[in-house]
Structure 1
């Protein structure tokens, strides 16, 4: 059987992994801070987990298509 690995990158600047990992790689918001997530460390633990948790929501959407997001090809 054939498999297709989809990867969603939501925080690639500091803690995240920058290289492609799957057959299809999505870099939500360019792999930078996600809209609606705290921008400073002063928000506590939410600063560290919000962007990463967003990847789960976005990945589920790639399967269900319920809240379809727009995607644009990368320049590279």
Structure 2
């Protein structure tokens, strides 16, 4: 995988995880406490797998992308 494709993969993985995490306030508002907790655990598990199976692999290939993502997240709250 070349660096540009790695960047696209990493951005998509990060955005997918963030998109799922954005469900939590909606779940809290419209679901029971048990449902919210169960879905919250499922979302956390899926986000962890995205990190482990995609982001860590991409960043192992291109450590400079990891540093760039970290900087952008600290500055803007997300990679751009």
Q: TM-score range by the shorter chain?
A: 0.3 to 0.5
Give the number of the structure whose alpha-carbon radius of gyration is greater.
2
Richer in helix (by share): 2
Task: Output the TM-score relative to the length of structure 2.
Answer: 0.33
Does 1 or 2 have the higher relative contact order (CA < 8 Å, sep 6+)?
A: 2
Task: Output the TM-score relative to the length of structure 1.
Answer: 0.34
Richer in strand (by share): 1
